[in-house]
Structure 1
Amino acid sequence: MTNVPARTEPTEPKESSNSNSGLLASIAKVGPTLFVLAVMGSGWLAVHQINTGAQPEEEESIVEVAAVPDSLTLPEGKVKAAKFESVPAQTQAMEHVHTIPGRIRYDETKHVDVKAPMDGILAEVLVTPGEHVQNGQLLAVLRSSEIGQARAEVLKRQKEHEIAQQMLQREVTLAKNLDQMSLMLDQGQPVDSIDNAMQNRALGAYRQDILSALSKMQLASELLSKIEPLANSGSVSGRTIRERQAERQIAETEFRTARDQATFAAKQAKINAEAKLSEADRQLNLAWQSVETLLGYKEDKAKVDLNNQEALSRLEIRAPFAGSVESRGFANNERVTRGESLIILANTDSLYVAANIRESDWSAVSLDQGTLVSVSVPALEDRVFEARIRYFGREVQADTNSVPLVATLKNSEGLLRPGMFVRVTIPIGKPREALSVKPESVVQHENQSFVFVDESGGTFKRVDVSTGQASDDWVELTNGLQPGQLVVTHGAFLLKSELLLQGESE
Structure 2
Amino acid sequence: MIGVGGLLAFTAYWQDQSPSSQTPSASESDDASDETEVVQGSLVRLTAKKMAAAAIQIQTLQPTELIVTRTYPARFEYDQSLHVAINAPTDGILESIQVKPGDDVKSGQVIAVFRSPAIGQARNEWLRRLDEAELASNESDWKQTIRSGTLQLIERIEQRQAIEQIKAEMQDVTLGQYRGDLLMQYSQWLLADRLARSAGNIGQSGAVSGRVVQQRQASVDQAAALLAAAIESARFEVEQTARDATVRYQAAQRSVELAAQQVANLTGQMPQRSSDLNQPKTGSSFDETGDDETGDADGSDLSRLVLRSTIDGVVQERRFAPTERVTAGQPMFVIADTSRLWVRAGIRDDDVASIHVSPGDLVRLIPTSVPERALDATVHFMGRRLDPQTGTIPLVLTVPNDNEWFRPGQFARVSVPIQRIESALVVPESAVIDVDGSTSVFVRDGESFRAVGVQLGRTGRQGVQITEGLHAGDPVVTEGAFVLKSELLLEGEE
**TM-score for both structures, normalised by structure 1:** 0.72
1:391 paired to 2:380: no
Match of 1:379 in 2: 369
Instruction: Please say if residues 69 and 503 of structure 1, whose CA atoms lie closer than 8 Å, have aligned partners that are also in contact.
Output: no
Residues of 1 paired with 2:298 and 2:187: CA distance? 56
Match of 1:314 in 2: 304
2:364 counterpart letter in structure 1: S
Distance 1:112 1:504, change over 3 A: closer
Distance 1:497 1:121, change over 3 A: closer
Match of 1:325 in 2: 315
Match of 1:206 in 2: 178
Residues of 1 paired with 2:334 and 2:82: CA distance? 11
Question: 1:85-100 alignment to 2 at 5 Å?
Answer: 86-100=58-72
Instruction: Please say if residues 103 and 421 of structure 1, whose CA atoms lie closer than 8 Å, have aligned partners that are also in contact.
Output: yes
Match of 2:4 in 1: none
Distance 1:163 1:299, change over 3 A: closer
2:382 counterpart letter in structure 1: R
**TM-score for both structures, normalised by structure 2:** 0.74
Match of 1:297 in 2: 269
Instruction: Please say if residues 428 and 478 of structure 2, whose CA atoms lie closer than 8 Å, have aligned partners that are also in contact.
Output: yes
Instruction: Please say if residues 117 and 339 of structure 1, whose CA atoms lie closer than 8 Å, have aligned partners that are also in contact.
Output: yes
1:403 paired to 2:392: yes
Question: 1:184-263 alignment to 2 at 5 Å?
Answer: 184-263=156-235
Deviation at 1:491, TM superposition (A): 6.2
SS of residue in 2 equivalent to 1:235? coil
Deviation at 1:131, TM superposition (A): 2.0
1:158 counterpart letter in structure 2: L
Instruction: Please say if residues 364 and 427 of structure 1, whose CA atoms lie closer than 8 Å, have aligned partners that are also in contact.
Output: no
Distance 1:496 1:299, change over 3 A: same
Deviation at 1:186, TM superposition (A): 4.5
SS of residue in 1 equivalent to 2:66? strand
Residues of 2 paired with 1:474 and 1:186: CA distance? 100
Match of 1:449 in 2: 440
Match of 2:426 in 1: 436
Instruction: Please say if residues 74 and 459 of structure 1, whose CA atoms lie closer than 8 Å, have aligned partners that are also in contact.
Output: no
Q: Which ranges of structure 1 fall in alignment gaps of 5 or more residues?
A: 1-63
- Report the structure, 1 or 2, having the larger helix content: 1
SS of residue in 2 equivalent to 1:168? helix
Instruction: Please say if residues 161 and 281 of structure 1, whose CA atoms lie closer than 8 Å, have aligned partners that are also in contact.
Output: yes
Residues of 1 paired with 2:428 and 2:358: CA distance? 30
2:198 counterpart letter in structure 1: K
Equivalent residue pairs, number: 434
Match of 1:476 in 2: 465
Match of 1:124 in 2: 96
Instruction: Please say if residues 92 and 326 of structure 2, whose CA atoms lie closer than 8 Å, have aligned partners that are also in contact.
Output: yes
Distance 1:337 1:475, change over 3 A: closer
Residues of 2 paired with 1:339 and 1:396: CA distance? 25
Deviation at 1:338, TM superposition (A): 3.9
CA RMSD, Structure 1 to Structure 2 (Å): 3.9
Select the structure of larger CA radius of gyration: 1
**Percent of aligned pairs with the same residue?**
34
Question: 1:24-423 alignment to 2 at 5 Å?
Answer: 67-68=40-41, 86-106=58-78, 113-301=85-273, 303-304=276-277, 308=298, 310-355=300-345, 362-364=350-352, 366-367=354-355, 370=359, 373-385=363-375, 386=377, 388=379, 390-391=382-383, 394=386, 402-403=391-392, 405-413=394-402, 414-423=404-413
Residues of 1 paired with 2:112 and 2:271: CA distance? 15
Distance 1:209 1:285, change over 3 A: same
Distance 1:81 1:102, change over 3 A: closer
SS of residue in 1 equivalent to 2:132? helix
